[in-house]
Amino acid sequence: MLFFEHFKANTIQIGIYLLIFLISIRISFAQEKKPDYIPPLDIPMMLSATFGELRPGHFHAGLDMKTKAQTGLKVRAIGDGYIYRIKIQRGGYGKTVYIKHPGGTISVYAHLDKFAGDLQDYVKRHQYDKKSFFIELFPGESSFPVKKGQIIAYSGNTGSSSGPHLHFEIREGESYPVNPMRYGFRVDDTIAPVLRNLYVYSLNDTSSVQDARGRVKAVVHRKKHRLYEVEGMDAYGMIGLGIDAYDQANNTYNKNGLYRVEMWVNGLKVYETRMDKISYGTTRNINVLIDYPYYVRKRRYIQRLWKHDAARLPVFSVLVNKGKIKVEDGKLYRVKIKLSDFEGNASLVEMTIKGKKTSITGSPAKTKTPFFVRRKKDFKITGQRTEIYFPPGTFYEDVYLKFTEFANGFEILPDNIPVNNKFTVKYSLEKVPGSKKKFAYLAKVNPRTKKAYFSTARKKHDSIVLRTRSLGTYFIKYDSIAPKITKINIKDGQWITNYRYLQFRVWDETGIQTVNAYIDGKWILTEWDYKTGKAFYDFNDLKFEGSKHTLRIVVTDRVGNKTEKKLIFHRKFR
């Protein structure tokens, strides 16, 4: 009897396990099955940038699709859903549409020239209500339903785009862009990634590479199409490797990012990154995935093949000892690195590292200063005119800073330390004469060009308050020169009945803050591009009584200087 009870219990248990197994397979299959989306453009898909590319302070969150160097191409919804967000901003993505699809995915279409049909009218109506060109709107679910293939907008070059293209994203949730290639957005690609350079790093005071400390460049030989051989190197202690590499697709010259990087040491995989998903919340951690000091100096990216202790990134899929290699005296370490694109084209890199105890004695001298900032604690620097507050988590590790105050500015060095969270600078203007105070602004010196550029800050009482992630040199500068309004396409007293657009240009050394225009005292919607200074108004927007009209253009710069231009024009509005 006991036997049958035991058998029965086991049978039930096996049945439960089998049921769980079948359910898990079904769930897995459901997770892997992707919606049947279509490309957002009618032309063959060619890319100028891929998902996860290394960028200044962030990973590239989508695909940049070429538009034949043109604007105005039809942009289509990739699938059924509804438009839930529209945004127009000065920089960033410029004009952008966000669509929610069944299942929760979100598709994003950025740098647009204009919106299509009723959506364009809806946006313009709200711009007039708020008297602002820049706007963010959240229509309800029933306001703008879309079908797969429906035209939603036209491609452009708005925002911080450096040329006409469509930036396209797929997100799984608001903050998690995923690689659109996982959803079937593929390109013709038979070309393997290219290795430009490889570097070996000593990672602590007792390690060395070629009897030196720090970053050491290796000698790379391209043996054949997809194989690179690196000349052997001596090392000792804890070391790490870094690569300067890129990928290309067929029929395009653009150098794109890698999809997958793997590294084996003596046959054991110790490191792997895949660009499948990123998080907006941690995208700045790219600054500890790359060799940040090298980037600051050279503006080139070296991807470190080890994980920084403070890095919080979803791109790591394999890590043994965080990718670091512990090299012992007299031992050989055979290293293989595989660089892959999404289509599986791969290049192999092979090298041998020989353990050789360093002849270096002592630890490298560290420049200690009174300004030692611990990563997990706050820190405050107080000068005669400057107060700087670093909240906990400002830096990725403990750092020594050098602070110097000048007669009209200050300096926080070194400027090649990656900053995670913003810190606050408060600089007193009490010593500035009252007549000049309103023209004062804080300018940051570019360490490469030595030019000083406007830093976005706010004036509070007799101080300038800056929230920034940039270390370096700052000076107080003054701007009392009003912005310029030029190349207005109509003249005072002119009849312009057949004109469709009012056009002009604006410019200022510190940058334009606002552009507003009025006809007969009524605000009109003026679109402008901060990159070119071009501004225009569509005369079909509004109707005005009579034939004689007053135009007034008002432009302010980022310091607060203002320029106004007035003229009379004649036009009969139909």
pLDDT for the residue numbered 364: 64
At residue 365, the pLDDT reads 63
pLDDT digits (tens, 9 = 90+) for 350-359: 999 999 998 7
Which candidate, 97, 95, 96, places its Cα nearest to that of 146?
97
For the ranges 140-144, 357-361, 408-412, the lowest mean pLDDT is seen at 357-361
pLDDT for residue 18: 43
Pair 482, 561: CB distance under 8 Å: yes
4 pLDDT higher than 60: no
Q: What is the pLDDT of residue 342?
A: 97
First vs last C-alpha separation in the chain: 98
* Percent above pLDDT 90 for the chain: 88
The amino acid sitting at 87 is K
Interval 528-550 mean pLDDT: 95
Residue 32 pLDDT > 60, yes or no? no
What local confidence, expressed as pLDDT, does residue 361 receive? 61
pLDDT at 359: 77
* pLDDT band with cut points at 50, 70 and 90 for residue 174: confident
What is the structure's pLDDT at 28?
Answer: 41
The tens digit of pLDDT for each residue in 375-386 reads: 999 999 999 999
Q: Is 147:80 a contact under the CB 8 Å cutoff?
A: yes
H helix or E strand, kind and range, residue 337? strand 332-340
Task: Name which of 570, 532, 167, 192 is nearest 345 in CA terms.
Answer: 192
Question: How far, in Å, CA of 233 to CA of 216, rounded?
Answer: 10
Output the average pLDDT for the chain. Answer: 92
Average pLDDT of the segment spanning 446-471: 93
pLDDT at residue number 15 = 47
- What Cα–Cα distance (Å) separates residue 314 from each residue in 104, 239, 308, 310, 322? 20, 23, 13, 13, 14
User: 122 or 435: which carries more pLDDT confidence?
Assistant: 122
Could you tell me the CA-to-CA distances from 293 to 289, 299, 300, 416 in Å, in that order?
12, 10, 10, 5
Q: Give the Cα separation of 307 and 316 in Å (integer).
A: 8
Nearest to 164 by CA among 48, 290, 30, 338: 48
Is the pLDDT assigned to residue 5 strictly greater than 60?
no
Residue 29 has pLDDT above 60, yes or no: no
Residue 291, pLDDT > 50, answer yes
Residues in the chain: 574
Q: What is the structure's pLDDT at 242?
A: 98
Cα separations (Å) of 328 from 233, 238, 266, 354?
13, 9, 13, 8
Q: Which residue has the tokens 């105005």?
A: 72
Across 316-343, average pLDDT: 97
Rounded to an integer, the average pLDDT of 220-238 is: 95
Give the model's confidence band at 461: pLDDT under 50 very low, under 70 low, under 90 confident, else very high.
confident
- Higher model confidence: residue 14 or residue 395? 395
- The H-or-E segment that residue 152 falls in is strand 151-155
Greater model confidence, 147 or 21:
147
Does the pTM exceed 0.75? yes
Cα separations in angstroms, 447 against 86, 295, 444, 452: 37, 13, 9, 9
pLDDT in tens, 483-522: 999 999 999 999 999 999 999 999 999 999 999 999 999 9
Chain-centroid distance of CA 448 in Å reads 21
pLDDT in tens, 156-165: 999 999 999 9
Q: Mean pLDDT across the stretch 283-298?
A: 96
Binning the chain into helix, strand and coil, the percentages to the nearest 5 are 10, 45, 45
- Does 243 have pLDDT greater than 60? yes
* pLDDT tier for residue 25 given thresholds of 50, 70 and 90: very low
